[in-house]
Amino acid sequence: VVLGDNLTKGFMLDAENAFGTTVLCNGKSAKEFIPRVGETVNCLFKDLTLATFTGVEKKDPDQGLQMDEADQFLNQATKAANAVSLIKTMAKIEDQTVEFELTKSEELSFVNFFKNDLGISSDEFAQLLDQADADKKTNTAPSTHTTKIDEAVTEGASTSFKSDFISVNAEDNLIYTPTKVIVTTGVLTDNLSRKVEGVEYYTPSSRGETNEKGEFKFSWGEEIIFGIDTFELGKVRGNKTDFKLSDLGSGHVGRNVERLVQRFGQISGSKIKLPDIVQETFAKYPNVINEIIKLSLSEDTILDLGSTQQSIEGEFLKQFEEGEAQKIDKTITDNISNSSSRSARGNVRLTFRSATKTTADDSTTVLGEVKKLWGITSGWKEVTKFHVFHDAMRVRGSNTGLHKGNARAQSVVYVSNAAFPIMMARNDVNYWIPFGEKAAFDELGLGYITESPSKVIPDNVSINNATFNLPFISIGEIGLGKVMMMGNSRYNSILVCPTGYSWNGAVSDNGTCKNDNDSSDMKHFFQNTFKYLGVDPDASPPKNVGTNIPYVYFKNDDSGMGEKANFVINQSAFNANTVQLESGGFKDLEVSDYPLLVINGFEYRKIANSYSIPMSADVDNATLSEDDIDDLIKYVGSGGNILIMESIAVNTCNSGYGLWDCKLSQWNPEPIGRLLDSAGLAVGHPDTVVLNGSGPKSEVIWGANIRPRSIHTKGVWLIEKYTPFEDKYGIFDDVENPIPSY
């Protein structure tokens, strides 16, 4: 290529603004770089390619290489305009020079916008950006009236749930964090599913008002603040698509938010609209409006007095009967002529009355839900034992020579009040002893000496001295549906052979299970689970259960995956038809056709060596796309249910093996992490049960002959040592301060 003359200008954002020193073109600062005719120019912001120009053409005087002329923007005017708009929004432009002075979080947002969102329409893209000067918004966003205060963290506290001293904000580490900007459309409604129009919203990436459909835009995971002018209604985390007004505050505060919007809104059919007079009136009281109208005041309550009930009027609605709140109320209500709205305001006290009571029916509480799954409630099948799978692998142990792998129960933490635990394993020093029986160890972990001449009487094991690990089975909610997760992929095999799963299971060519030697407890548990999630095994006709799991593997005496079988849910046990669904097949699923989906988010990790943990998720090979997740969230929100049984967060550094090549897999990995996040669930530590059942706190597999459940040819004595102390009579053992000998 024969190069020609230099251009008179370099890399330009547009006809007026040129890039400065923070952008490099062909390795030189864009401020100093002058391209030559015929050469190829590549301009970068750090590692991000902003523009490439192949074979630079001759320009008129005073013209440079403009952004919209780059190769990647040819014949794509909307994409080019969005790129220019993004840079003008996030970069600093002074004296017609464009410089990037971004924080790390701003840089991440910029890169994600540039890579993923330039192709959307200009209107949609504009809603992602804060195109107005932040100074002009200072007194309009509720978020500007609060000071961010970092939580105090005690020195020595750890965010690990396995540490001895857990930090108060440890749960934050488990919350799903997107690695890219996921633009999401949310809908704001009241408790009667009426769309709310005219409420202002503010996020780090967008701001505006909810439209006639109650819709607003945000980036997944952001904090969303809702308000009316400077009055803050409340805030939520953007981890779902359907939001209720009552979500904006805890308990009665959220219900008061709804009462306020219903009071001042115009109600028409399935919509509530806040008229302009509301914003105009609130704007006359900037900031102080938050003190005039208090959302924290008490609501109407009903006291259950046994044979009668007494209604107690709350303070929230009474505040509009006097003072400045009365003036505001009169100004707004006098200007609202909608009769249905006036009627609604008159009835607003009754909106939540049916949900207010002092004593809850057991069947409506979390405990009532848990009792159903365990068969304690009448009409549900009894479950007395629960099976925990061990890893099918071979490493050297202390007693048998070959250890068959540790117990695997990955924690599934509930990070929302809409989610709750189903199964938590005990982790106290007497964990293997049932309630009501004598303890082997006291609260200090010291063994009771009960042989003569000792007169010690051990305490009974009870709820008062038992402790529990994080749950490894939890249920969350999205709208009208539920998401249940269990922390081990092996549980899928129980759906195929409900009484032949624990060891050396298989399915014959004619579809029958090889073994039938396991108890019916797990069969009953999953029958209860199916019933709870919309597929009653005792009802007819059979219902369809959709799945993206092609095969299950039965554990056997092998360090690999185990015996392979088609994933076909046992018809006689669960009365369900198994329907295979591939990625892309979850769009517009009807709950009536598929009340339940049993899915996994990833392929299984390949077995690399004898230390590899079989059936763990390969987070680099997802079986679901981001579009699938959007479809599944919509499906659950409309009343569908999802059951996930998967081992995702496998950390061999911290699961009892202590290997040199250990690796911590990403917690809550994309894309399924977003589905769990939407349901109020999060994947936690990989082991929430005692690893090998060999005694209290046996965190590793290597030998220790004091384990209470170990088998020995001779008796083992537990010897306790005592701290010596000296007084005027000599040196003695301090029997009040024993030294643990294990």
Q: How far apart are CA 350 and CA 258, in angstroms?
A: 12
Residue 136 has pLDDT above 60, yes or no: no
Residue 122: in which H helix or E strand, if any? helix 122-128
Q: How far apart are CA 440 and CA 454, in angstroms?
A: 14
Looking at this protein, which amino acid is placed at residue 20?
G
Q: What would the DSSP string read from start to end of 402-439?
A: SB---B-B--EEE-STT-EEEEEEE-STTTTSPTTSBP
**Residue owning tokens 């059936």:** 615
Residue 234: in which H helix or E strand, if any? strand 231-237
* HEC readout, 467-509: CEEEEEEEEEEECCEEEEEECCHHHHHHHHCCCCCCCCCCECC
Backbone angles phi, psi at 407, to 5 degrees: -65, 140
171 band by pLDDT with thresholds 50, 70 and 90: low
Separation of CA 684 from chain center: 10
Residue 726 has pLDDT above 70, yes or no: no
Contact 63, 83 (CB under 8 A): no
Task: Name the least confident of 337-346, 349-358, 494-503, 587-596.
Answer: 349-358
Q: What's the token pair of residue 727?
A: 């007084």
417 band by pLDDT with thresholds 50, 70 and 90: confident
656 band by pLDDT with thresholds 50, 70 and 90: very low
Q: How far apart are CA 635 and CA 275, in angstroms?
A: 33
Q: What's the token pair of residue 118?
A: 């330039």
Q: What is the pLDDT of residue 667?
A: 67
594 band by pLDDT with thresholds 50, 70 and 90: very high
Contact 476, 644 (CB under 8 A): no
What is the Cβ-side half-sphere exposure of residue 209, based on CA atoms within 13 angstroms?
Answer: 14
Q: What is the pLDDT of residue 80?
A: 94
Instruction: For CA atoms 680, 682, 688, 691, give the dihedral sign.
Output: positive
Using a cut of 0.85, tell me whether the model's pTM lies above it: no
Task: Name the least confident of 305-309, 428-432, 600-604.
Answer: 305-309
* Average pLDDT over the chain, rounded to an integer: 82
Percent of the chain with pLDDT over 70: 77
Residue 147 has pLDDT above 50, yes or no: no
Contact 315, 261 (CB under 8 A): no
401 band by pLDDT with thresholds 50, 70 and 90: very low
57 band by pLDDT with thresholds 50, 70 and 90: confident
Residue 591 has pLDDT above 60, yes or no: yes
Residue-wise pLDDT for 606-636, tens only, equals 877 666 778 888 888 999 999 999 999 999 9
Q: Which of 516, 483, 525 is nearest to 388 (CA)?
A: 525
Burial of 238 (C-beta count, 10 Å sphere; 0-12/13-18/19+):
buried
For range 113-131, the mean pLDDT: 80
Coil/strand/helix, residue 390: strand
| Contacts for 735 with CB less than 8 Å, ≥ 6 apart | 722
Separation of CA 731 from chain center: 59
178 band by pLDDT with thresholds 50, 70 and 90: confident
Note every long-range contact of 144-150, with CB atoms under 8 Å and residues 24 or more positions apart, other chains counting: 145/230, 145/232, 145/287, 145/290, 146/232
Residue-wise pLDDT for 246-280, tens only, equals 999 988 999 999 999 999 999 998 999 999 999 99
Q: Which of 112, 146, 143 is nearest to 129 (CA)?
A: 112
Percent of the chain with pLDDT over 90: 49
Q: What is the pLDDT of residue 152?
A: 60
For range 177-197, the mean pLDDT: 90
Q: What is the pLDDT of residue 113?
A: 87
Residue-wise pLDDT for 207-228, tens only, equals 899 999 999 999 999 999 999 9
Q: What is the pLDDT of residue 603?
A: 93
Burial of 68 (C-beta count, 10 Å sphere; 0-12/13-18/19+):
middle
For range 55-78, the mean pLDDT: 87
Q: What is the pLDDT of residue 719?
A: 61
Q: What is the pLDDT of residue 7?
A: 77
Task: Name the least confident of 567-571, 599-603, 679-683.
Answer: 679-683
Q: What is the pLDDT of residue 158?
A: 65
Q: What is the pLDDT of residue 160?
A: 61
| Contacts for 562 with CB less than 8 Å, ≥ 6 apart | 392, 553, 554, 555, 556, 614
More confident residue, 361 or 522: 522
More confident residue, 313 or 48: 48
Q: How far apart are CA 201 and CA 738, in angstroms?
A: 61
More confident residue, 172 or 211: 211
146 band by pLDDT with thresholds 50, 70 and 90: very low
- Can you give the C-alpha Rg of the chain in angstroms? 32
Q: How far apart are CA 443 and CA 376, in angstroms?
A: 31
Q: What is the pLDDT of residue 157?
A: 67
Instruction: For CA atoms 393, 394, 396, 397, give the dihedral sign.
Output: positive
411 band by pLDDT with thresholds 50, 70 and 90: confident
Q: Which of 284, 373, 392 is nearest to 328 (CA)?
A: 284
Q: What's the token pair of residue 594?
A: 């598929």
